[in-house]
Structures are given as structure tokens and as C-alpha cells.
Amino acid sequence: MADLKTNFLGIESPNPFWLASAPPTDKEYNVRRAFEAGWGGVVWKTLGSEGPPVVNVNGPRYGAIYGADRRLLGLNNIELITDRPLETNLEEIARVKADYPDRAVIVSIMVPCEEAEWKSILPRVAETGADGIELNFGCPHGMSERGMGAAVGQVPEYIEMVTRWCKTYYDKPVIVKLTPNITDIRYPARAARNGGADAVSLINTISSITSVNLDNFSPEPSIDGKGSHGGYCGPAVKPIAMNMVAEIARDPETRGLPISGIGGVTTWRDAAEFMSLGCGTVQVCTAAMTYGFRVVEEMKSGLSQWMDEKGYSSVNDFVGRAVPNVTDWQYLNLNYVAKAKIDQDQCIKCGRCYAACEDTSHQAISMSEDRVFEVMDDECVACNLCVDVCPIDGCISMVAMQPGETDPRTGKVVQADYSNWTTHPNNPMARAAE
């Protein structure tokens, strides 16, 4: 079994699977059970300032998007930060950390954007013995209306300022949690780095309306006939999260900044993908909320099996391995030519590829009287749509043409060398190839 031990910012944990700051980490009872179930670490549910705690709605706070058989694909919530007294949380954090010294315990914090507020809470958090803090600049609902959460995360100057305060008044690692509700994730990430952040974590939830009740026209979840945008998470957000992670991982200004990946991590494979894009740990919320704490068992066994198969002895062997392969469109090899190929033995003749290509793509699939579907190489542009709609995994594959072969669609001979848009003759900005 591969060793899943992780060292992130000097914080050790037996595996890279942390529970994200959310209901699963809202109290001692949960966190103890999570650690017993095998989670490597937790980011405690976000703490607010001293004083009367926030209040939550007393009606439904979640909405959902389902796949077949009510498989939960996306969850949305209008929950706020912890609604329990600060003191209670701090006492519990200290007790849990003392009992689980080998696990990562990070404290998430969100207080108003005033230096005094941060200055007063940080020493109290430090006293708990927790391993670090995470600044919640992400929450897109409720708290943002009060100038916190995403309202800070959307203004790079604030991120930098608050991060600097934290680095000033707190000794241990500071992780800045980013909101995806922004046009270009690199700006807040750069601000965090400039403020001295030890790492960023992302993504927090995405502003969303999951559904509308068509009887009373209230968005869901509905509170007395009205709804508010909530934060979207779960499997549906993973592609968005991974892109944002990759953008930060490959940005020259933030390259090398440690990342804790969050957003839709549900299986070992999701985790491996996030980690290959540069994440030292991953955080999980929805998967735990959907299936309970014991999902981590599968994540651990799956990741270590894959590592064994690949011959990786430590997570460091593959963290960031995919980053060099993320590039801009303009650098993709335009000399690479592929064609779709249908494996007739696997084909079940549903005709979906035909409908897709004929109606919406390039009319490159033929259909015979007796329902044999074949790709016409002289029309196929290799768009991959047929592969994506075919119900049989592996039935249609994209086969690369070899250099020297002639592409029957364009009549051009496939070149062995690499050539991209920057030098393409159709590009008015093309730099002459010297």
C-alpha cells in the first residue's frame, strides 16, 4: 500500500483528505467521528467574531440538482458561518487537537474587514493549538451582504490587506480560501501571495439558483415563498474548480504557491486529478454530506491502489504532474490530426452518434439500411462529440493520424513537427517563423 502521508505547509496528516469548512466540521462531535472514520484533517466550520452568533434561516437551506436515480450531482446552500458561540468552538477545537495530534486541524475565520477584529480573534485561535488558519473570503451568500466572505474575496486589495494582518498577528500557516465568483481567479490568488499567504484553497461555492418552483415561482430552497442565491458545490462544480486550480498553478506570479483543492471531490480519482493539477491536499464537503464520513475509506484505498499501480511511493511523486500540460489554446499543436473510429463489435446501433454528428456537427457519420454506423474520414473534424454522446464506453475512439498520411478531409499530408496558431498563416498576428 502506497503511503498517503502528506506534508502541507509543514502540517502533517496521514492522508491528503481533509474535510472542508462546512457542516461536517461544525462541532467536536462531528470532527471526532470524522477522525475516527479516517479523515486526514479538517478545516473547522468558519468562526465569526465574538458576540451574538449569526442566525440561520429556519426553513430549508439546501437545494439540489439530480442525475438518474436521484444521484446528487450538485448541492446549493444558503447556510451562514457557524451559528454557535465563538468560545464554545474554540474550546472544542483545543480539545480535539489535543486528542488527535497527528491530524491537521485548521480553523476557518471570517470577521469584518477591520484590523482590530482580526487582531483580537487570532491570538485566541492560536491558543487552541490548531495547525493553521483558513481565511474564508469565499462565502457567496448572506455574509457577503455584510461586507465579508465573497465581498472581500472579490476585491484583491482587501485580500492582500487582511492576509497581511493575519501574517502579522498569527505565527502558523495562513491559507486563503478563494471565491470562484470572480472573472479571473489569478488576481485574488496573486493578492493572497502578495499579502504573504502560505497557501490558497479553492473553490468556495458558486453563486447559484438550483431550481424554480413552477407552482409558486419561488426559487429553491424556498423560504416562505422567496429564495436567495445560494452556494453551489458537489460533483457538478469540479470542472470549474479544477480549471481555477490549474490557472493558479501555472500563473508565473503564483507558480509554486501551495494549493488545497476543493470542489466536487467525491472519489479517489477526483482527488488524484486535483492533486496532479498542483494541490497538496484536497478538501471535501458535499461527498461527506451525501454519503457520510466513511466515504473516505474508498478515497484512501483508491488513491493508494492507483499509486501502487503507477509506482508512486509518495503523493509528492504526482502532485503537479499535469500542470506543465495545461497550456493556452494558441499553443496547441495544429498539426495533430485525429479521426473518430467506431468499433463495430462494441456498437449497439443506438444511432446517437449519427444524430449528433448529422444534426449538430459535421455530417461525418453514415448510417446504412441495416443500421451500421461509420465515420467518413473525409468529413470528420475529430470534434469528439460522437465519443461524448455514445452510451458505450470505449466504442468510439479518437485515432491520431500518423505523419506522412494524408487527411482525406483537407487533402493535406500530416506533418510530424509541432505547429501552432502563433505561426499559422491565417493568424493576422502571426510572428514569422524565423
Partner 1 sequence: MAQGQMAPGIVAGRLSSDELAANFDDLHPAYAPHEAAVAADRCYFCYDAPCQTACPTEIDIPLFIRQIQTGHPEAAARTILEQNILGGMCARVCPTETLCEEACVREAAEGKPVEIGRLQRYATDTLMARGVHPFTRAAPSGKRVAVVGAGPAGLACAHRLAMLGHDVVIHEARPKAGGLNEFGIAAYKATGGFAGAEVDWLLKIGGITVEQGSALGQGLTLDALRADYDAVFLSIGLAGVNALRAAGEDKEGVRDAVDFIAELRQAGDLSALPVGRNVVVIGGGMTAIDAAVQSKLLGAENVTVAYRRSRAEMGASRFEQDLAASKGVRLMFNVMPVAVHGNRSAVEIELEYTTSAGGSVTGTGETVRLAADQVFKAIGQTLKGAPEGLELDGRKIRVDGSGRTSVPGVWAGGDCASGGEDLTVTAVAEGRDAAMDIHTQLSA
Contact residues for 347 (Cβ-Cβ < 8 A; gap 6+): 373, 392, 395
Distance, in Å, from the CA atom of 185 to the CA atom of 203, rounded to the nearest integer, reads 10
Binding mask 19-58 for ligand SF4 (x = CB under 6 A): ----------------------------------------
Instruction: List the grid coordinates of 206.
Output: 458558486
Closest CA to 281 of 2, 20, 1: 20
Q: Report yes or no: 107 and 113 within 8 Å, Cβ to Cβ.
A: no
Examine residue 84 and tell whether it contacts ligand SF4 (CB under 6 A): no
- Which of the ranges 79-87, 193-201, 225-233, 372-380 carries the binding residues for ligand SF4, by CB under 6 A? 372-380
- Which grid coordinates are listed for 263? 470542489
Please identify which residue in 104, 106, 133, 284 interacts with ligand FMN, judged by CB under 6 A.
284
**Quick check: helix, strand or coil at residue 360?**
helix
Answer yes or no: 139 catalytic: yes
Q: Which residue has the cell 479538517?
A: 42
Catalytic residue among 139, 233, 380, 386: 139
Residues 330-369 vs ligand SF4: string with x where CB under 6 A? Answer: ----------x-x----xxxxxxx--xx---xx-xx----
Q: Are 421 and 414 in contact (CB under 8 A)?
A: no
Whether 108 and 43 have beta carbons less than 8 Å apart is answered as: yes
Query: Among partner 1, ligand SF4, ligand FMN, none, what does residue 70 contact (CB within 5–8 Å per kind)?
Result: partner 1
385 touches, from partner 1, ligand SF4, ligand FMN, none (C-beta below 5 to 8 Å by class): ligand SF4
Q: Is 142 in the site for ligand FMN (CB under 6 A)?
A: no
> Would you count residue 381 as binding ligand SF4 (CB under 6 A)?
yes
Q: Give the one residue of 98, 212, 332, 392 binding ligand SF4; rule: CB under 6 A.
A: 392
C-alpha span between 141 and 62 (Å, rounded): 13
| Interface residues toward partner 1, by CB under 8 A | 68-70, 348-352, 354-355, 367, 371, 391-392
Q: How far is the CB of 215 from ligand SF4 (least distance, A)?
A: 31
DSSP string, 27-79: SHHHHHHHHHHT-SEEEEEEE--SSSPP---SS--EEEEE-GGG-EEEEEE--
Which of 50, 118, 110, 126 is closest to 85 using CA atoms? 50
Segment interacting with ligand FMN, rule: CB under 6 A, options 29-37, 63-71, 74-82, 352-360: 74-82
Contact residues toward ligand FMN (CB under 6 A) are: 20-23, 45-46, 75, 77, 79, 81, 108, 136, 138-139, 177, 204-205, 231, 233-234, 237, 262-265, 284-287
Contact residues toward ligand SF4 (CB under 6 A) are: 340, 342, 347-353, 356-357, 361-362, 364-365, 373, 375, 380-386, 390, 392, 395-396
Residues with catalytic annotation? Answer: 139
